[in-house]
Structure 1
Amino acid sequence: MNNRLKGILITVFAGICWGFSGSCGQFLFDNKGVISNWLVPIRLITAGTSVLLFLLVVDRKKVFAPWKVKRDAKEMLIFAIAGMALCQYSYFTAIQHSNAGVATVLQYTGPILILAWLCMKQKRLPRRFEIIALGLVLGGAFLLATHGDLTTMTLTKPAIFWGVISAVALAIYSVQPERLLGIYGSLATTGWGMFIGGIVLNIMFKPWTITGVTVDGGTILALFGVIFFGTILAFCMYLTGVKYIGSTDAAMVSCVEPIAAVLFSAVWLGESFEFIDIIGMVLIIAGVLIISLVKDRG
């Protein structure tokens, strides 16, 4: 298996993990009194600590290596705050001010920003297959998030603001750590990004002071799904995919997330599954296949 195919498969798996995590998060929001100011800080600090402890066991030298070089330490802080923490918080805040459909559609404009950055960096125009693939995955994500019904999009000013911020943060998260990934790998980069981002958000929102959250077996299991599958596995896999196939392709391939979210929600949470959702899935899969099969990268 070549590195490109490996990167695509790893990124697809990351998207599936995010989709499952989204269903776990929706379960917590709807049934356990959980809010984003409680969930996001806890998921990041727990996941970051777990990844760093694991790395401490398997490769002790890499754990603190990023902090020995001033430039790398600065870039790690930018990634943790402007990429990891901001991406997570802005997305869930957009949901609170609207709904998951609006937040998903707005965040998935991020690949447009990533493609624009890549074209400026390489001093070229977007290639035809890139435009087609991007249009397909964005169209598919839109259909899955809204079921083709524009009336479900509650576009309040705060929702638009935080949705756009989440798209920008997604672009930063995908592009900014590429050099760090090449030096320190996905575990160290992701672990420190989560840990520092978690510290910042815990200081800001003090989740231990938030009341009204029901903590029982269901909460713990769903929280495990959010932290292990949707945070540790998903982010490590996604950044590994970025390392293999680049930020633009990884961002588009990860758009399989809405497919997984719809399927998990239909099977687990009993949400409706419509024909328009199948069309959305087909569009996303077609876009991913175009990215996967086109060999001539110019």
Structure 2
Amino acid sequence: MSHVSAVLLVLLAGTMWAASGTAAQDFYAQSHHLPVELTQVRLFLSSGLFFLLAWWSGGLQRGVRTLRHSPRLLLRMAVHGILGIMIVQFSYFKGIAAGDAAATTVICSTSPALMILYLAARHRRLPRMAEMLTVAAAVAGVFLLVTGGDLTRLSVPSDCVVWSLVSGATFVFAMIYPVHLLRRFDRFFLLAVCMLFGGIALLPVTQAIADVGAFFTAQTWFDLFVIIGLGTVVAFFAF
């Protein structure tokens, strides 16, 4: 894949994730469902769609054969599904519920700066000048957003700030951890299994998936299409 194609795919993924945030904000306004319920429904339905795509591409059969030979890989997939996918989405939706989609998305965009700091610590080196400027710009941008330049108050609810930072930090993990898994599995199959693990992990908290029909109303079906179809299937595939 060319560098230009890769950049365009990342831009597509980012745009779809941002669209899902706006749709989630409207979904909360139109329904009584909680972020944890929306997260579980999103994960289970998206998992089903990715299983269909894996079957269509032939990745389902290859993935099952790989797991038969190396069943321990299921544990790594569970880790990515819970820490790298479920918590990212849940904390993102919690941030939107506590504040708004715009603020949450901007704060979450600190993840590249967090990635720079992580890699610098991992390789025991100081960030390069361009990287340091990137981190400084990200911190300054979030500072201006949450305070409006006034140190005595927050213009964004503190819960929104905390959940958004959690989402950004766990997104860094989601970018790094599955690299070795992508070498072993078809991307559709990997996403299907990991999202299934993420949805299962929420069962002790909520069983919203059992009443999934209640989510699709005349006021919310388009929001769910954007959140699940565009913000999950298209976004994760492109990324």
TM class, shorter-chain normalised? Answer: 0.7 to 0.9
Contact 2:21 2:101 (C-alpha < 8 Å) held by counterparts: no
Deviation, structure 1 residue 121: 3.5
Residue by residue, what CA displacement relative to the aligned partner does 1:45-86 show, whole Å, maximum 9, x if unpaired?
101111112111221333324533144222111100111111
Match of residue 95 from structure 1: 96
Aligned length: 233
Query: What CA distance in whole angstroms lies between the structure 1 residues aligned with 2:146 and 2:165?
Result: 17
**Aligned counterpart, 1:270:** none
Distance 1:114 1:148 in 2: 26
Aligned runs of 1:233-272 on 2, under 5 Å?
233-238=234-239
Greater per-residue helix proportion: 1
The gaps in structure 2 that reach 5 residues or longer are none
Task: State the AA in 2 paired with 1:67.
Answer: L
Q: Which residue number corresponds to residue 78 of structure 1? A: 79
- Written as runs of structure 1 = structure 2, the 5 A alignment for 1:122-271 is 122-136=123-137, 148=148, 151-156=154-159, 159=160, 161-207=162-208, 215-238=216-239
Distance (whole Å) between structure 1 residues aligned to residue 233 and residue 49 of structure 2: 8
Q: Distance in 1 between matches of 2:38 and 2:164?
A: 18
Moved more, 224-233 or 16-25: 16-25
Tell me what 2:51 maps to. 52
Shift of 1:210: 7.7
Deviations 1:75-107 (A, max 9, x none): 111100111111111222233344445533543
Q: Relative to structure 2, which stretch is displaced further, 75-84 or 34-43?
A: 34-43
Contact 1:41 1:201 in 2 (8 A): yes
Q: Which residue identity is paired with 2:157?
A: T
Q: Percent identity?
A: 23
Structure 2 match to 1:279: none
Return the letter of the residue paired with 1:93.
Answer: K
Q: Which contiguous aligned blocks of 4+ residues in structure 1 show a shift greater than 4 angstroms?
A: 134-143, 145-151, 208-211
CA contact under 8 A between 1:66 and 1:73: conserved in structure 2? no
TM-score normalised over the length of structure 1 = 0.67
Q: Which residue of 2 aligns with 1:16?
A: 15
1:64 aligns with 2:67: no
In 2, the alpha carbon distance for the partners of 1:7 and 1:40 equals 28
Task: Give the Cα–Cα distance (whole angstroms) in 2 for the partners of residues 94 and 52 of structure 1.
Answer: 29
Aligned to 1:43: 42
SS in 2 for 1:218: coil
* One-letter amino acid of the structure 1 residue matched with residue 43 of structure 2: L
Q: Let me know the Cα RMSD of the aligned residues.
A: 3.0
Given residue 174 of structure 2, which amino acid in structure 1 is its aligned partner? Y
Residue deviations 1:153-209 (CA, integer Å, cap 9, x gap): 1225xx555344323311211111111112224322222221211222244211157
Q: Does the aligned pair in 1 maintain the 2:41–2:209 contact within 8 Å?
A: no
Q: Is the 8 A contact 2:24 2:93 kept in 1?
A: no
